């Protein structure tokens, strides 16, 4: 009924705990697809060991092409109506699939179900991100970018597999999760925010969220932010558009200052934003000045 996809690269220290969290699910009607992305440690051997122990586990391996490529390959193998993603160094609580699959079966109009996350698990900064249960059927951009009900990450959600028929993870960029959420927001009709289950997100020193900034991370951030801004422009969502224009200006400044890299913000984005819109926007005065300069500078 549901397929769990785990992309794997050199995760031998955490992989068994991750796999056990799937094997020990109360809900039993699952398939687990493991895609080893050219690991050089014992990750592939660990995967094959579990494949022999449970017929619901299928292992694939490919040359190292990145997490997005591994997820895309896994999606090509899915035959169940629902799919979810778990990172190889994280875990999920044993009731995560049982409680949330019941919700999805009770309301088959739900395209995406998002469940709680135990952020930075096992650190001093740990906390549980658990929005109230709600159904979202309109204003998806507001729920994602404004009220933050819909998270930016791909791994705290269960999806209808059909959503991925014409959508794939963009390979070769750092923030492919964020771009995928953008693409899905465009096509979903109903999102459920659930209070059931729990994703254990571990903070690792080499993760995208915690590793040091690089030119590529900044450039990819500019690319993804531009794509979000473009759609906000098309939808004439001025309030959130203004916020993301400020983000673009700040990323551009960082790229120039830290990496001597020049990027261009599409002037058309500001064409629907008036001087009055900027002055009345709920942003700080410094950001308002930045936008006014961007809008009226030659």
**Helices 285-296 and 238-259, packing angle to 10 deg:** 80
- Which pLDDT value is given to residue 131? 86
- Which pLDDT value is given to residue 76? 97
From-to residues of CATH 3.90.550.10 in the chain: 2-200
Please state which of the four CATH numbers 3.30.43.10, 3.90.550.10, 3.60.15.10, 1.10.3720.10 is assigned to the domain occupying 2-200: 3.90.550.10
Q: What is the pLDDT of residues 58-92, one digit of tens each?
A: 999 999 999 999 999 999 999 999 999 999 999 99
Question: Could you tell me how far CA 116 lies from the centroid of its own chain?
Answer: 14
Q: Locate tokens 């959508």: which residue?
A: 167
Distance from C-alpha of 215 to C-alpha of 284, rounded to nearest angstrom = 27
Residue 163 has pLDDT above 60, yes or no: yes
State the pTM of this model.
0.93
Rounded to 5 degrees, what are φ and ψ at 255?
A: -60, -40
Mean pLDDT estimate for the chain: 94
Q: What is the dihedral of CA 225, 176, 12, 97, to 10 degrees?
A: 110
């Amino acid at each position: 009924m549901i397929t769990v996809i785990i992309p794997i690269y050199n995760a031998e220290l955490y992989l068994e705990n991750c796999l056990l969290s799937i094997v020990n699910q109360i809900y039993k009607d699952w398939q687990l697809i493991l895609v080893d992305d050219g690991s050089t440690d014992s990750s592939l051997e660990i995967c094959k060991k579990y494949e022999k122990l449970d017929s619901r586990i299928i292992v694939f391996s490919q040359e190292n092409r990145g997490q997005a490529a591994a997820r895309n390959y896994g999606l090509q193998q899915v035959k169940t109506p629902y799919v979810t993603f778990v990172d190889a160094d994280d875990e999920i609580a044993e009731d995560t699939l049982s409680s949330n699959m019941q919700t999805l079966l009770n309301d088959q109009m739900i395209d995406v179900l998002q469940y709680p996350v135990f952020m930075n698990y096992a650190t001093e900064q740990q906390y549980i991100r658990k929005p109230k249960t709600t159904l979202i059927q309109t204003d998806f951009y507001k729920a994602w970018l404004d009220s933050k009900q819909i998270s930016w990450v791909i791994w705290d959600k269960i999806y209808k597999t059909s959503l991925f028929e014409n959508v794939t993870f963009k390979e070769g960029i750092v923030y492919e999760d964020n771009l995928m959420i953008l693409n899905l927001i465009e096509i979903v009709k109903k999102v459920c925010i659930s209070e059931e289950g729990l994703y254990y997100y571990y903070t690792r020193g080499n993760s995208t969220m915690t590793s040091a900034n690089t030119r590529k991370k900044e450039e990819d951030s500019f690319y993804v932010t531009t794509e979000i801004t473009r759609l906000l422009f098309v939808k004439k969502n001025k309030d959130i558009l203004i916020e993301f224009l400020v983000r673009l200006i700040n990323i551009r400044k960082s790229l120039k200052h830290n990496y001597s890299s020049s990027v261009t913000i599409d002037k058309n984005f500001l064409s629907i934003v008036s001087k009055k819109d900027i002055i009345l926007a709920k942003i700080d005065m410094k950001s308002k000045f930045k936008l006014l300069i961007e809008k009226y500078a030659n």
